Amino acid sequence: MRTFARFAALAAVFSAPALADMMDAPEAVRPPVGHAMSLHTVGVGEITYECRAKAGTTAVFEWAFVAPVATLMDMSKKEVGKYYAGPTWEAIDGSKVTGKQVAVSPAAPGSIPLQLVKAEPATGNGAMSNVTYIQRLNTKGGVAPADACSAGSVGAKTQVAYQADYVFYRM
């Protein structure tokens, strides 16, 4: 009965497509059994890339990930926090959580991968308190630029728009 009640509560908050996406996420990016969703946000922002020499070379260049920045919104499109380098998710109430990537799974072409992050202890009391895992789902955009990166453009930075669902879990 508890499982049904929890599903009914989730269905009341989220659209059917959003629930289906969370339930159908590739196994690699699912949190372990026993972790329950506590918050579902949509992050809209940019990822910064910099033209650099590829690691271990001096003549091969690539667009390297620098940092993300996004506004987190709830399902009614109300701002509830922000996401930035760390990775760090910070709620408007001041609570925040950082974490370490534990898994990725491919997304649609032209979109950054889906991701599962294991949370480090949160700071502050609020929306991010006791978060154990964060999923990145439904990604759109955010991949490194297709523009050439060469010796002449080393150090150049560019921002790429992206959007993703960030789903937070607790024990």
Q: Give pTM, 2 decimals.
A: 0.84
How far is residue 53's CA from residue 132's CA, in Å, rounded to a whole number? Answer: 36
pLDDT in tens, 114-126: 999 999 989 999 9
How far is residue 23's CA from residue 167's CA, in Å, rounded to a whole number? Answer: 12
pLDDT in tens, 11-47: 334 443 444 445 578 999 999 999 999 999 999 999 9
